[in-house]
Amino acid sequence: MRYKGRTRVIFTKVGVCLPFTTEQARNGEVKLKEFTAIWDTGATNSCITKKVASELGLLPTGIAEVRHADGKSSVNTYLVNISLPNKIMVGQVRVTEVQLISDANIPDDNQPQLLIGMDIIGMGDFVVTHANGNTTFSFRVPSVKEIDFVPESDDINLRDTGANRHQRRAMKSKFKKGY
C-alpha cells in the first residue's frame, strides 16, 4: 500500500467470510465481504465490529475478556477467514468484537470495521517506510528474512565527518560496553 503523504494509520481493504471447506471453495460457494481494516501492532489479536458480525450472519463462538484503554470487558468471539490485500487467506481466525472509534473525516462506508492484530501480523514481515514524505506499507507471508535497518544507518553515520563522526563512534563504543 502506498499513501500520498505521511499517514498516521495503516488502512487496507480486506475480505472477510465464514470459515469454509475445500469443497465449498472449489464450488465457488465462498462469498467474501469487503471491509476497511486498521493494522495495529499494539493489538494482540484481530477484532471485528458488530456490523461485520451482523452483515456476515456470524454466531458467537464464545466470550473472551479483553483489555483496552478503558479497562477490561467481556466480549463475543467469532471464527472467520480474512483475505489480506496480498491475496493471502488467513483461515479460522478467532476474532473478538470491539467498538472502533469513528473518524468524522471518513465516509461511513469506509469507516474501519476490522483491526488486524499481532496474531496475523506476526505470521510474516511487516514494514512501514516514509521515504520522500510518503508512507509505504508492505506485508508478506511467510517471513523470508530478517529486516534490520541499523547496519545501513551505521554506514551512513560513519560517512559523516568531523565532530559528529567522533561523537557517534564514542556512542557506539559506549553501547557495546553496556553503559
Predicted local distance difference test score (pLDDT) of residue 25: 80
Q: How confident is the model at residue 173 (pLDDT cuts 50, 70, 90)?
A: low
Residue 99 and residue 84: Cα distance in Å, rounded? 21
Please check the confidence at residue 45 and state whether its pLDDT lies above 90.
Answer: yes
Q: How confident is the model at residue 69 (pLDDT cuts 50, 70, 90)?
A: confident
Q: Give the residue extent of every domain in the chain.
A: 2-140, 148-179
Range 110-124 average pLDDT: 94
Predicted local distance difference test score (pLDDT) of residue 136: 95
Q: How confident is the model at residue 169 (pLDDT cuts 50, 70, 90)?
A: low
At the top level of CATH, the class of 2-140 is: mainly beta
